Chain A
Amino acid sequence: EVQLVESGGDLVQPGGSLRLSCAASGFTFSTYAMNWVRQAPGKGLEWLSFISSGGHTIYYADSVKGRFTISRDNAKNSLYLQMNSLRDEDTAVYYCARESVVATLYYWGQGTLVTVSS
């Protein structure tokens, strides 16, 4: 069974940093591209970032480019999102999601809450 478990969400002050993790199991992690998606409270879904299976191709949404960094460790079956210079508007539930041949966001984790507030 495919499982994606996010962790690392916390309360952080504006301007601060946080690293989210996504632990993958139930599939061969190193062969699948991965994404991060977020959802602000009461708002819609926002795609944030993509990383290819080997980590060599990366894309970001303009809203996080230059502040967030996606990475992965295939030996540890883990995906990461380093978030710097956090703003109030980054408050959201953050999801990791695995790609498949047919769809970008085929499997989702349960999400982790990041709150940016002073």
Chain B
Amino acid sequence: AIQMTQSPSSLSASVGDRVTITCRASQDIGNNLGWYQQNPGKAPKLLIYAASGLQSGVPSRFSGSRSGTDFTLTISSLQPEDFASYYCLQDYNYPRTFGQGTKVEIK
């Protein structure tokens, strides 16, 4: 199975900060990666598809990029509603595998 190594596991940031979260795939997965946001007690929500595609309705402060097997989710200016957990998911093959998650907390 493809392993997705996500970092950091948590971070503290302030409103307005630029935040980056990284996932590294254990092998080439092309652009087959999505990013999901999850608020406490809620179902996850798709933010980014195909490594850099912005899901409809998601604010433009969210962006995704790829460099080889490294994928990055960037929040350009953190807003209060962005304090949540974030997960990457490879959808290159089965079994699908998630990163371990990143909890973004208020500093």
* Size band of the interface chain B makes with A: 20 to 34
Provide the bound-state CA to CA distance between A103 and B89, in Å: 10
Binds A, one of B22-30, B69-77, B90-98: B90-98
Provide the bound-state CA to CA distance between A104 and B49, in Å: 9
Cβ contact within 8 Å between B44 and A60 = no
Give the residues from 41 to 86 in chain A that come closer than 8 angstroms, CB to CB, to chain B: 44-47, 50, 59-62
Cβ contact within 8 Å between B91 and A45 = no
A95: nearest residue on chain B (CB-CB)? Answer: B43
The total of chain A residues at the interface (CB under 8 A) is 20
B95: nearest residue on chain A (CB-CB)? Answer: A61
Provide the bound-state CA to CA distance between A104 and B90, in Å: 9
A109: nearest residue on chain B (CB-CB)? Answer: B43
Which chain A positions have C-beta within 8 A of B87?
A: 44-45
Contact with B along A83-106 (1 / 0, CB 8 A): 000000000000100000011111
Provide the bound-state CA to CA distance between A35 and B46, in Å: 15
A99: nearest residue on chain B (CB-CB)? Answer: B91
A interface with B by C-beta (< 8 Å) = 35, 44-47, 50, 59-62, 95, 102-106, 108-111
| 9 A–B pairs (Cβ distance < 8 Å), ordered by A | A44-B99, A44-B100, A45-B36, A95-B44, A103-B50, A104-B34, A104-B96, A105-B34, A111-B43
B interface with A by C-beta (< 8 Å) = 1, 34, 36, 38, 42-46, 49-50, 53, 55, 87, 89, 91, 94-101
New contact pairs (19) apart from A105-B46, A111-B43, CB-CB < 8 Å: A44-B98, A44-B99, A45-B44, A45-B98, A47-B95, A47-B98, A50-B96, A59-B94, A60-B95, A62-B95, A95-B44, A102-B49, A103-B50, A103-B55, A103-B91, A104-B96, A105-B44, A108-B43, A109-B43
